[in-house]
């Protein structure tokens, strides 16, 4: 296999520069058509159609999910999986910039695939559509369905996430976007309805149970660690004021730096909720969703990304000293196989934060697209190194094997 990395880089970068105008169209079409978890039908079809026009055989509705897809080239050697996200948030659209994640992942796949074909490089490269990152646990479902199996055959799974440039000190990105674990669940309270004025004593108020649970957790927050988070919303709170609510439902996230620490905090949160149910005389039921595990970064992948991004004029840090207090189901993947979950920064106003309308607007700008394309060049080179360089791939696997779960 060729080991002229500058030749490979030239082939990758030239091809991606040529593809950028078409990828901008994909990017902007996703941005203007935001879709929620497991409903990303436009994105699924748009990306699949584009890949097929590029000459790739694309499997649709893969692994039992209507909005997952995959395209693979090569039949032997180490497998690199590039993960693409494309779901949005209710009401505020692509306020987490998943249109840019999709763009960078597609581009990284195109660049590496073109280099493999042009230079006759053997190996396996796959782009995998991963729906429902925003609370739906799409990657957790994909893991269960076998998308990352057998894990020992996967050299690495890679992707990168946009962040506001000011949030990371004005640099171009972080190689290790270390995010924390998130335990997700809903709780239903069931009471007994009654006329709120005529005979309230005959009712059992499920709204009081939900309010009590919220207040209990609010008191708990004073005694949790600074890096821990608990937040919840009322999804069902009753119907009309003159009817004692007999049913309410809340949605909760419990976050901590590690999955195990999150489990301990969740036990304390459940105690707050259980106490509210007892105090009001309501019954309650937990509806548990897939946990988002904490991200395990791979030092070898991160350090190499920093070097390759420097070659396209971008200053990226390998890591920072503290975890960022957010979560992703890419964390689950990082517990299955070597993984890269980096970030690239995009220009945004100083008051732009992830999950805000301001960041959603910034994610649709041409400057954000350019940042995504530069990140794609770095990820394409990462994929090529994993496929070509035996020693590099072995070190990546060694990093993964000595991880601390």
Domains of the chain: 5-179+295-402 (3.40.630.10), 181-292 (3.30.70.360)
Q: Which of 63, 331, 61 is nearest to 184 (CA)?
A: 331
Look at residue 29 and give its three-state secondary structure: helix
Q: Would you state the structure tokens that stand for residue 108, as one six-digit string?
A: 């990284």
CA 393 to chain centroid, in Å, comes to: 24
Partnered with residue 250 across adjacent β-strands are 187, 234
Query: Is residue 254 within 8 Å of 186, Cβ to Cβ?
Result: no
Which residues have C-beta within 8 Å of that of residue 76, sequence separation ≥ 6? Answer: 122, 123, 124
Query: Is residue 272 within 8 Å of 222, Cβ to Cβ?
Result: no
Residue 152's pLDDT is what? 93
Tokens 């601390």 identify what position?
Answer: 404
Taking every pair of Cα atoms in the chain, the longest distance, rounded to a whole number of angstroms, is: 84
Residue 403's pLDDT is what? 79
Query: Is residue 56 within 8 Å of 83, Cβ to Cβ?
Result: no
Q: Which of 80, 79, 53, 81 is nearest to 68 (CA)?
A: 81
- Tell me how far apart the alpha carbons of residues 42 and 20 are, in angstroms, rounded to a whole number: 21
Which residues have C-beta within 8 Å of that of residue 286, sequence separation ≥ 6? Answer: 185, 186, 187, 270
Which residues have C-beta within 8 Å of that of residue 72, sequence separation ≥ 6? Answer: 57, 124, 125, 126
Classify strands 173-174 and 181-190 as parallel, antiparallel or unpaired: unpaired
- Tell me how far apart the alpha carbons of residues 344 and 135 are, in angstroms, rounded to a whole number: 22
**Phi, psi values for residue 341, rounded to 5°:** -125, 85
Residue 2's pLDDT is what? 45
Query: Is residue 95 within 8 Å of 356, Cβ to Cβ?
Result: yes
Q: Would you state the structure tokens that stand for residue 212, as one six-digit string?
A: 């009590």
pTM for the model? 0.93
Classify strands 247-256 and 181-190 as parallel, antiparallel or unpaired: antiparallel
Distances (CA, A) of 328 to 71, 95, 138, 321: 23, 15, 10, 19
Helices (H) and strands (E) in the chain, counts: 11, 12
Query: Is residue 189 within 8 Å of 247, Cβ to Cβ?
Result: yes
DSSP class of 295: P
Average pLDDT across each block of 10 residues of the chain; the chain has 405 residues. List them in order: 83 98 98 98 98 98 98 94 98 98 98 97 97 96 97 96 91 93 98 97 98 98 95 96 98 96 98 98 97 96 97 93 85 97 95 94 97 98 97 98 76
- Tell me how far apart the alpha carbons of residues 192 and 199 are, in angstroms, rounded to a whole number: 12
- Tell me how far apart the alpha carbons of residues 368 and 44 are, in angstroms, rounded to a whole number: 22
């Amino acid at each position: 296999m060729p080991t002229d990395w500058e030749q490979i880089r030239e082939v990758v970068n030239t091809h991606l520069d040529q593809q950028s105008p078409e990828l901008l169209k994909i990017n902007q079409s996703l941005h203007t058509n935001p879709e929620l978890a497991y409903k990303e039908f436009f994105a699924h079809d748009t990306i699949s159609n584009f890949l097929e026009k590029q000459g790739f055989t694309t499997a649709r509705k893969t692994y039992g999910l209507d909005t997952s897809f995959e395209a693979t080239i090569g039949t032997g050697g180490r497998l690199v999986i590039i993960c693409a996200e494309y779901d949005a948030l209710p009401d505020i659209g692509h306020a987490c910039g998943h249109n840019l994640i999709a763009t960078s992942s597609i581009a990284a796949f195109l660049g590496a695939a073109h280099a493999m074909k042009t230079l006759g490089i053997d190996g396996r490269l796959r782009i995998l559509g991963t729906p429902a990152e925003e609370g739906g646990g799409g990657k957790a479902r994909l893991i269960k369905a076998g998308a990352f199996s057998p894990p020992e055959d996967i050299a690495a799974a890679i992707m990168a996430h946009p962040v506001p440039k000011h949030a990371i000190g004005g640099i171009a990105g972080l190689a290790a976007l270390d995010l924390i674990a998130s335990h997700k669940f809903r709780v239903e309270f069931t009471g007994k309805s009654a006329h709120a004025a005529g005979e309230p004593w005959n009712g059992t108020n499920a709204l009081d149970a939900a309010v009590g649970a919220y207040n209990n957790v609010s008191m708990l927050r004073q005694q949790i660690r600074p890096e821990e988070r608990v937040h919840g919303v009322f999804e069902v709170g009753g119907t009309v004021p003159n009817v004692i609510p007999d049913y309410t439902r809340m949605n909760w996230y419990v976050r901590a730096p590690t999955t195990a620490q999150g489990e301990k905090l969740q036990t304390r949160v459940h105690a707050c909720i259980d106490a509210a149910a007892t105090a009001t005389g309501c019954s309650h039921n937990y509806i548990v969703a897939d946990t988002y595990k904490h991200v395990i970064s791979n030092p070898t992948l991160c350090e190499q990304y920093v070097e390759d991004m420097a070659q396209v004029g971008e200053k990226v840090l390998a890591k920072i000293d503290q975890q960022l207090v957010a979560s992703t189901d890419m964390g689950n993947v990082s517990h299955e196989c070597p993984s890269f979950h980096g970030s690239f920064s995009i220009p945004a106003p100083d008051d732009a934060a992830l999950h805000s309308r301001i960041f959603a607007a910034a994610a649709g700008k041409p400057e954000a697209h350019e940042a995504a394309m530069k990140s794609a060049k770095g990820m394409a080179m990462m994929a090529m190194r994993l496929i070509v360089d035996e020693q590099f791939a072995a070190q990546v696997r060694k990093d993964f094997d000595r991880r601390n779960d």
